[in-house]
């Protein structure tokens, strides 16, 4: 027994697995030096963990969220009769005044009335939409909304839908007043006139949503109108034919959406049928409105700096 040591004695003479573990780290010791799958998971989160860590994933347009946003905006506007009056009645009032400014020259009203039928709704919707969106951001409403499962695309689409419905009413009132009460003489269909007026109002809505991201106050939002609207107003062909302008200005007018809105109105004014130029003008205005809406969704901020 003295010559053959017991296991306990052998462990004292020859290091056991426990002693070797001190020199050669086991799986537990290696885990401390080399992170295990659990430690790696903490450093490299799974898609589920990433989704939980990122509360604002890329916006995906949801019809239900868009409709809910539009309904909320319409409920708010229902309690703001002054804004509704501004949107619906001011373009009609401007056209009414314009008609009797040229009371002694009805041909002048016919020449510019159709163009202004598209311009007035664009300007009105631009002002109302930019101020309303900015107010939601400065009051913190926008930040609270985006903290919910609501993407930027849903928010922008909801606003566009709500104000678009008002644009339909606005354009219908202005077109009906101009054609059937004020005697605006157009060769084409009044429905085509209504279509262009509606697209112009939607373009104004899209521009208002877009520029509201760059304004820090309602005063700044109003100041964007001279920068965004007035150059288009001067170059759209309302005051002088675009082909008689200085070449640089003519080239600039060719890329401004209001120029195509005025051209579309003039096509309805002079042509009895739908022409290729009219289709081009409608498509350009529609594409510009869609592009600006996408830019508005991309540049929308949660709060004002």
Q: What angle do CA 212, 127, 197 make, to 5 degrees?
A: 115
Whether the pTM exceeds 0.85: the reply is: no
| CB neighbour burial string for 208-245, b if at least 16 within 10 angstroms, e if fewer | bbbbbbebeeeeebeebbeebbeebbbbbbbeeebeeb
Check residue 126 and give left, alpha or beta (phi > 0: left; psi -120 to 50: alpha).
Answer: alpha
Question: Using one digit for the tens of pLDDT, what is the confidence trace for 68-118?
Answer: 888 888 888 888 888 888 888 888 999 999 899 988 888 888 888 888 888
Tell me the average pLDDT across 50-58. 45
In angstroms, the CA 240 to CA 253 distance is 12
Q: Is 132 left (phi over 0), alpha (psi -120 to 50) or beta?
A: alpha
Write down the pLDDT at residue 84: 85
Asked which of 76-80, 105-109, 151-155, 206-210 is least confident by mean pLDDT, the reply is: 151-155
In 3D space, the residue among 62, 93, 99 whose CA is nearest the CA of residue 170 turns out to be 93
pLDDT at 45 > cutoff 80: no
Q: How confident is the model at residue 219 (pLDDT cuts 50, 70, 90)?
A: confident
| d(C-alpha 146, C-alpha 272), whole Å | 48
The two tokens of residue 172 are 């219908």
Q: Residue ranges per domain, the chain?
A: 63-299
- Tell me how far apart the terminal alpha carbons of the chain are, to the nearest angstrom: 86
Write down the pLDDT at residue 235.
93
Mean pLDDT in residue range 20-47 = 44
Place of tokens 């354009």: 171
């Amino acid at each position: 027994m003295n010559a053959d040591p017991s296991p306990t004695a052998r462990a004292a003479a020859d290091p056991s697995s426990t002693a070797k573990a001190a020199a050669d780290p086991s799986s537990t010791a290696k885990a401390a030096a080399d992170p295990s799958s659990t430690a790696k998971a903490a450093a490299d989160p799974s898609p589920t963990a990433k989704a939980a860590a990122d509360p604002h994933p890329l916006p995906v347009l949801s019809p239900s969220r868009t409709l809910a946003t539009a309904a909320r905006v319409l409920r708010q506007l229902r309690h703001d009769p002054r804004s509704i009056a501004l949107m619906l009645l001011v373009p009609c009032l401007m056209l009414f005044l314009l008609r009797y400014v040229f009371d002694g020259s009805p041909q002048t009203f016919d020449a510019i009335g159709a163009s202004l039928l598209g311009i007035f709704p664009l300007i009105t919707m631009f002002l109302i939409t930019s101020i309303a969106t900015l107010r939601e951001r400065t009051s913190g409403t926008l930040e609270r909304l985006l903290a919910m499962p609501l993407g930027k695309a849903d928010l922008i689409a909801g606003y566009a839908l709500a104000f678009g419905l008002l644009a339909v009413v606005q354009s219908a009132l202005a077109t009906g007043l101009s054609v059937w009460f004020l005697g605006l003489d157009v060769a084409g269909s009044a429905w085509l006139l209504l279509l262009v007026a509606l697209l112009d109002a939607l373009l104004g809505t899209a521009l208002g949503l877009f520029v509201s991201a760059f304004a820090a106050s309602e005063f700044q939002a109003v100041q964007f109108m001279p920068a965004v609207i007035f150059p288009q107003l001067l170059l759209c062909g309302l005051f002088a034919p675009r082909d008689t302008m200085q070449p640089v200005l003519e080239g600039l007018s060719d890329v401004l959406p209001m120029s195509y809105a005025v051209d579309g109105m003039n096509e309805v004014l002079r042509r009895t049928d739908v022409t290729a130029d009219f289709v081009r003008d409608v498509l350009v205005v529609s594409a510009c409105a869609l592009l600006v809406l996408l830019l508005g969704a991309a540049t929308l901020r949660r709060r004002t700096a």
